[in-house]
Amino acid sequence: MPNIKSAEKRMKTSALQRLRNRSRRSALKTAVKKFEKTLDTGVEKAEALLAATVKELDQAAAAGVIHKNTAARKKSRLMRKINALKQAEAGE
């Protein structure tokens, strides 16, 4: 246990922040998995879910939960997947 009052406060706030970050990171992973699962169902559903997933990635990066380059890389990979799906459907 900390001896200094400010250290006690920091311990409480960091514990709360850790829980918030863990929750946000978990929701982010769930959103990405949901998007990847809908890729099989069709482009329209996937595009709708892509917007929500990208929004969550941006918010997580803005909050400092993940690095902004990590968010950009994940968004890029998701976009590549949906573009490949569009190309496959256009080729048929």
DSSP, collapsed to helix, strand or coil, labels residue 40 as coil
Q: How far apart are CA 1 and CA 89, in angstroms?
A: 60
CATH for 5-91? Answer: 1.20.58.110
pTM of the model: 0.84
What stretches of the chain show up as alpha helix (H) in DSSP?
Answer: 5-38, 43-63, 68-91
Q: What is the mean pLDDT of residues 28-45?
A: 93
Mean pLDDT for the chain overall: 94
Interval 11-33 mean pLDDT: 96
pLDDT, residue 29, reads 96
